[in-house]
Structure formats: C-alpha cells, structure tokens
Structure 1
Amino acid sequence: MIDFEKFVKYSRPGPRYTSYPTAVEFSEDFTYEEYIQSLENQDSQKPLSLYFHLPFCRSACYFCGCNVVFTSKEEKKDRYIEYLKKELQILQRHLDTSREVIQLHFGGGTPTFFSPEQLQIIIEEIKKVFPHWSKEAEVSCEIDPRFLSEDHMRTLAAGGFNRVSFGVQDFNEKVQQAVHRLQSFEVTKNAVDLARKYGMQSVNIDLIYGLPYQTLESFKETLAKTLELDPDRLAVFNYAHVPWLKKTMRKIDETTLPTPEVKLAILKYTIDFFTTHGYKMIGMDHFAKPEDELFQAIEKGELHRNFQGYTTKGGADLIGIGLTSIGEGEDYYAQNYKEMQLYEEAVDSGKLPYHRGVKLTFDDRVRKAVIMELMANFKLDIPRIEKEFNIDFQEYFADALQELKEFEEQDLVKVSDKAIEVSPTGTLLIRNIVMPFDAYMKKHGEGKKVFSKTV
C-alpha cells in the first residue's frame, strides 16, 4: 500500500518532459538562419512526422494549457488555411518533402471546429506537398465531441486518418461547470460510435485528474463510464495549474482543487482500475489494450515520447506547421510564432514563421536520451548509452546517481551498473525520478514559477 502522505513531499514544480531541453530553454539565440540550415541538412533517408496546429476554439475550457484563438468567425479559419498553404510552399524550398511520412497529427485548439470542407482543403494541400506516405502511417486528429458531425468523420476517414483522440476530462457535471466545458456522456458516446463506424483503428480518450471539485468517489464514476466506451487507449493527465501562464486558469477557484493526497489516491485507483480491466500502463500517463501497438512497443522497450505524447514512431524528424507548432530534429527544437499577427507577417515576407528554439549540445543530447528512455520505458540500458555517446555513465552522471539514492531507499527505483529500473510504484513519480538528470533544473530553483507540480 502506498503511503500517500510520504509521497506528498515529492509534490514540487517539474517538467512533463515532452522535450529535453524543455520549452523553457527555447530562445532566439537559435537563429532563423541556423534553423533553415538544420532543415536543409536533414538526412533525406529519415522519415517525417508532421504536426499541424489548428488553433481555433469557440469558447475557453478553463483547464486548457494549449495555445488557442477564440473565435466564432468562419473567415478567420478560411484566412488561416490560406496561410497554412503559403507556409507549406515556403517549407518546400528548405525541406525534401519527397521523404516518407510516417506520422501526421492535427492538434488544437479544436481541429473539428473547422468545417468538414475546410478540413478537406487542408488534407488535400498536405498530400500535394507530401506525396509519399508509409502504409503503416499513424494519422491522427484531436476531437472535441461537442464539435463533431458524421461529415467530419467521413472526411477524416477518406483522408487516411486512422486514429482519433476525444477530449473528455471528466463526466461529472459539477466539475464540468467549474471548468466551463459541459459535455454529456451521450455526446461523447455518439462521437466514439462514429469513429467505430468509419473504421478508426484506434480510439483514445483523454481524462484529467486534479480538476475543481474532483474527489476519488466522483472520479470512480467517470472511470466506470469511460470503460463503457471501450477505448483502445487512454491518457489520464495530471492537471497542470499554471495561472501565471494561462489567464483562463485564473477563473478556477483554487480552494476547490483536490489536495496532492487526493490526486495521488485518484491516480493510484485509476492505475489499478484500468490494469484490472485489461489495459496496461504505458509511460507516465497512458494506458493501452494488449493488442495495441503502444503495448507491444513497451514490451520491446521501443516506446518513444514527443510533443504528441507516447508513440511507436521514433527516428523521424518532426516538422511543426502552423501557429505555435514545435518541430524536432536530431539536434534542435524549433517553435513557430504564438501570435497570429507575427505568424502572418513572417509568412507574408516569404519566411517560415519560426520564432525561437534551441540547438542541442552534446550534453543536451546525452541527457535527452536518458530522460526520454526512462519517461517512455521506465528503464534504461546503461551500456547502450555508454556506447552511443562514448561516456562512462557512472562518472558522467555521478551527481544524478547520488540524488537517485533517496528513491532507491524508498524502493522506487533500482540502479545497477547495467540498468536503471523504475518500480511500478516509482512510475507514479517518474517526473521526479528523471529530474536529477536535468541540468537546467538547478538554474530555475524552487522559487521561480516555471513548471506545474509533479503531484
């Protein structure tokens, strides 16, 4: 049995490690010219992963940490599509777009807030610019069930989409009212049924724990209803309350948020619930059925982590397209402008809308390999890291290994000369366990408001 009170001491600010270095380290020091050079020098044999940010929403969900634009005007969406087309034309000058695409993801915002006709135009434009697709390509779209018609699903299926992810967060009406997102079980079930009707290979459902008024008992009801929908995958995220970064979060009454003890109890119950109902925990916050390829990847130790979460599609260069999108190459991260005016001005001047990023040093690449491997597979093959980077692991990470001893004493992690292995209980604190390998954490200290709490 987990001693939750003991665990509460680990509730401290820390990254989610969708990247390393994290986005906090992105700056304009990595110049536009350097970014273009990195794009043009990419290995033409490497496949591509494409991320398109479709940023519009009708109204605010108070828990949301995404970069969104609120609008009810169709012309804004039409205008954005024209700029996506221009951005793709510029991208063709700097990137070999004949490379094979193994992954495409539409994120938001609310991608299905665009009409089926608008989505059709975007899909056709992408296929024109990127003509070569793997037969096993993972083509996915985030969907708000409140903005979904059969025509939407028909358009996505015809465009080659084979995965959908539905935002649910919580089925409790009191919680929904507090976060400004009323969405009935019936609306969500209809959306899932449409996905099945149109042959989507994988249906994911997103839940969030740590929202206002949530209790262990109320979340148990949400989990039971979610199970009725029989998703292939689930993502159960820890709510990141960062009101100093996201103004809409200031509308949440902090006195209604569950305590770290309650959040840990919810997480522990969630893990037990899904693992006893045929799912396996994947990485930090995902679950999948045994027949799902994520499950198979973790069995082989081949799971990867990027800005879209966990994936089996490693080894690809990620190209971010659209407002605020992030791309990732072997030794860089690059982010587009977050402000629509600056995005449009860049594209109008014939440039990619690149704003900031980071060029990875050797040390960054070593630490990224260690952190991402632990985040994805909960274990690290030390000799493999030593061979890949020609280092002595014990010597290179002496400080980090010293810090890990506290977790070893609590049986949260096991360290040997050959491996670092996180225990099932330790997975609940995986962000804390990898933080000793993060060279930037000491710079930020405890005082500066940068990251959400890990627990």
Structure 2
Amino acid sequence: MNQLPILGSDPLAAPYVAYSYSYPHKSAYGPLDPPVSLDEVWQRENRQSLFLYTHLPFCEMRCGFCNLFAKAGSDSAAIDTYLDSIERQTRRLSEATSGKRTVTRFALGGGTPTVLSVAQLERLFDLVSQSFDFNPANVPTSIETSPKTATEEHLKLLHERGIQRVSIGVQSFLEEEAHGIGRPQKAIEVREALARIKTFGFPILNIDLIYGQPNQTLETWNHSLEAALQYEPEEIFLYPLYVRPQTGLGRRARTLESSALQPIDLYRAGRDKLKAAGYRQLSMRCFTRDLSQVDTGPAYCCQSDGMLGLGAGARSYTSRLHYSSRFAVNSSGVQSILEEWTQRSEETFGYADWGIVLNDEERRRRFIIQSLLHYTGLSRTSFARTFESQPEETIPELTGMTETGLIEESDNVLRLTEKGVSLSDAIGPALYSESSRARLREFSAP
C-alpha cells in the first residue's frame, strides 16, 4: 500500500487498496498540543444522537490477519484493571457530554468482548447504561463474539440485556483455510456456536467471511458461503484478505501462496450467490436479508452525528475533532499503550491529546466518502445544505467516475454502480486528500 491508484481506464488493475470504513484514516492522527478539553468540545456539539462505542482489546487468540488494537489473552485481573479505567473514563465523559444528550446506537467491539466473564460484562453494561442514561434494549445494539466465547452463559446475558445484533467472525468453515490465515479454530466449534446463537433468537445474526485466502478456490469459497446460509443470518459481511505490516501474516518470512484466482473473482461469486439467495447488497462488504432491520431505532447519521468512544483504541468523532488513544498493531506496542492508558486519572480522561482537527476540506471529503460508499448514496441536497457547495467542487474526480460508469445519479443522489461498489476499496482511497494519502503511505511503509 505504498501507492494509491488513480482510477483510470482500467480500475480493475488495482481493485484492493484499503478499507475506507472511516475518514480520515487513523494514520492521520497526531499529538494535540495543547490537549483539547472535552468539556468544551462536546458542549459545543449537538448531542441528541450519539453512537456510544466501547472497545475491549482482548482476544483468546490474535488472528494472523488482524491489524486492530487488540492483544491475545484473557487474564481476569488485567481485564478488571482495564474496566476500572473505563469506569474513570465513563464518569468523566458522562460529565463532559451532560445536558441534552441521547444515545441512539451502542456497540461493543474489540478484540472480542465475550472474552470478558459474564460478571465483567454485567459490570460494563450497568456502568455505561447508568452513566449515559439509556437502555441497550431500546436502541440498536451490537456485539462481536467468536466461536469459542459464544457460550450459553454469555448469550443468555446478551439476550437478557436486549442486544439486537450478534456478529461472529467465522472467516472460513474449513479448518485448513482458517489455520492458513492464523486462526486455529475448529469447524465443530464454529457450528456449535452458531447453533447456540440461533436458539436465542437475536434479531440480527451477522457472519463474517474472508475471501482471497491462500489456496482458496471457488469450490472452497462456495462451501463457506453455503455453510453460512444454512444458519439464515440476517447479515453476512464478505471481507477481502489484507496482509498488513506488523500483523502475524505480515511478519511471515515467506510470501503467502495465493490461488490463481483473483480476489475480485471470489468477490463476484460471493456477491452473486448472496443476491440469488435473497440478500440485498448495502456496500462492498455488507449484505442484508431484510432491509427493514437496517438503521432501525432513533435517527442516526454517520456523516454528521457524533461517536463517543470508551476504552483504549476507541475513536471519537465530533463535527471537527476526531480523537483516540494512541494506536499500535504489534503486541509490544499494544501492551505499552494499555499500560499507560490504565494508569490515567479521571481528570486526564477529560482531555484529548491524540487526534486530528478537520479543516473544511476534510469535513467535505469525509461527508462525500462516507455517503458514497453507503447504499443510501450522496445527496446533493444534503451536501449543499451542509457545505453550501457541490461535491465536485471539493473532488473534481467525481465527474470522471460518473463518466466511466462507477457512479450514477438519480433524483439528485450520487450512488456507486454495481461496478463501482465492487471497486469501493480503490475508490475510497482515491478520494482522500493529498495530505491524508501522504500520512497513509508513511503509516503503511515497512
């Protein structure tokens, strides 16, 4: 990822660049000097629709492809120490966001939140719901789990708390494929976990699968797709395999052996199979069986509403400030950051010292990227109302993307075509500002 492509006459030549799930990328963050008072930041924000996210960086294992802020190990004492810090942070941020505040989305990610014991999860649910005055059962809620940690006791607690969406990272139903990407799971554990989840009747079950794995074929990919469909999940996410620096796969001395198939071929096969099974495609990755279950609950707009992150590694978004703790991928870096973070006082949690202040151009680019890569598309009316300009004034390349069939316009809304959706991981980075591209190249350099 040392170069970002310019989408020209043959964009399929480089369809996989980077997953643009957020903008600016975390690589653009840096020291905030002096640190920014979160009281001042949040009291200036509209807090009527907040996404509350809690990051739990603990896993029973570290997958070879994982480049998240996470560590292997589920030491109960270490988790208790981490929850003590979250409690201090929660008290401080509850105060900083006090007043007219409404939580309309809640998610637990990581890591694997269900590595925590049932008692630890209960403590966390009580803490955040009481501190931010909301009931998880009354807003869209989501949690990530894994085959080993989706136990009967954990699922019972999640059901009692009204968690709506349970997402499980399967990646492959074939053990040899899972092992090949550094995930030593057993197929029987996967199927038993899915069967347990189904018995509780959560409104949304999501299954994650990965394509582009070493030696993966259309036959083995089709096997995993069909296995997933047997459980009738409400959502399925199809992720391409990215081998990132400092991950387990990235540190391997030899290059991964790859199938003769290109990942784009596997993507198309998966897309077509899920569509034929009645799923609707919402983005390059996300497929849903029932559109009525998407974006339910109180209104929330990812382009303009805020996100409040709890825990080391969690990012927070306001209209102009994006901030988090420092970030690392390798185990020593993660451990060092965690040790520093768990020693922070309640007072210091009232300040952001690592992040980025968005200028007007970056705010416009963020709105365009977040909108265009989502099935709802980029509304010219909403963009003009917010920024008093048209998208092409910020990103002239949008015109070329329309002319080459990557974008289409209907009812004043720009949307990716089917071809455009398949190239989302090239289109997103192609829309980054030059400064963000430079930071991303620097971040990704070996």
Which TM bucket (shorter chain)? Answer: 0.7 to 0.9
* AA at the equivalent of 1:294: V
Instruction: Give, in whole Å, the separation in 1 of the partners of 2:104 and 2:441.
Output: 42
Change (3 A) 1:253 1:277: farther
| Alignment map for 1:213-292 (pairs within 5 Å) | 213-243=215-245, 245-247=246-248, 249-251=250-252, 253-258=254-259, 261-292=261-292
The equivalent position to 2:418 in structure 1, one of 420, 424, 441, is 424
What is aligned with 1:385? 383
The answer to whether the Cα contact below 8 Å between 1:373 and 1:380 also exists between their aligned partners in 2 is yes
What is aligned with 1:33? 36
* AA at the equivalent of 1:57: C
Change (3 A) 1:43 1:291: closer
Change (3 A) 1:135 1:100: farther
SS in 2 for 1:256: coil
Instruction: Give, in whole Å, the separation in 2 of the partners of 1:98 and 1:387.
Output: 24
Instruction: Give, in whole Å, the separation in 2 of the partners of 1:97 and 1:55.
Output: 30
| Alignment map for 1:340-379 (pairs within 5 Å) | 340-347=338-345, 350-352=348-350, 354-377=352-375, 379=377
- Do structure 1's residue 440 and structure 2's residue 434 form an aligned pair? yes
Change (3 A) 1:95 1:30: farther
Instruction: Give, in whole Å, the separation in 2 of the partners of 1:291 and 1:168.
Output: 23
- Do structure 1's residue 9 and structure 2's residue 13 form an aligned pair? yes
The equivalent position to 2:407 in structure 1, one of 407, 413, 430, is 413
* AA at the equivalent of 2:27: V
What is the deviation of 1:249? 3.4
The answer to whether the Cα contact below 8 Å between 1:294 and 1:303 also exists between their aligned partners in 2 is no
| Alignment map for 1:21-420 (pairs within 5 Å) | 21-29=24-32, 31-44=34-47, 46-96=48-98, 99-133=101-135, 136-243=138-245, 245-247=246-248, 249-251=250-252, 253-258=254-259, 261-294=261-294, 316-338=305-327, 339-347=337-345, 350-352=348-350, 354-377=352-375, 379-398=377-396, 400-401=397-398, 403-404=400-401, 408-409=403-404, 411-414=405-408, 418-420=412-414
The answer to whether the Cα contact below 8 Å between 1:100 and 1:134 also exists between their aligned partners in 2 is no
Instruction: Give, in whole Å, the separation in 1 of the partners of 2:412 and 2:133.
Output: 44
Instruction: Give, in whole Å, the separation in 1 of the partners of 2:292 and 2:185.
Output: 27
What is the deviation of 1:205? 0.5
- Percent identity of equivalent pairs: 21
- Do structure 1's residue 18 and structure 2's residue 12 form an aligned pair? no
SS in 2 for 1:164: strand
* AA at the equivalent of 1:61: C
The answer to whether the Cα contact below 8 Å between 2:234 and 2:290 also exists between their aligned partners in 1 is no
Aligned length: 428
* AA at the equivalent of 2:247: K
Change (3 A) 1:273 1:128: same
SS in 2 for 1:226: helix
Instruction: Give, in whole Å, the separation in 2 of the partners of 1:435 and 1:403.
Output: 15
Structure 2: runs of 5+ lacking an equivalent: 1-8, 328-336
* AA at the equivalent of 1:323: A
Instruction: Give, in whole Å, the separation in 2 of the partners of 1:389 and 1:415.
Output: 20
TM-score between both structures, scaled by the size of structure 1 = 0.84
* AA at the equivalent of 1:356: W
CA RMSD of aligned residues (A): 3.1
What is aligned with 2:332? none
What is the deviation of 1:252? 7.8
What is the deviation of 1:172? 1.7
Instruction: Give, in whole Å, the separation in 2 of the partners of 1:379 and 1:97.
Output: 33
Structure 1: runs of 5+ lacking an equivalent: 306-313
Higher relative CO (Cα under 8 Å, sequence separation at least 6) belongs to: 2
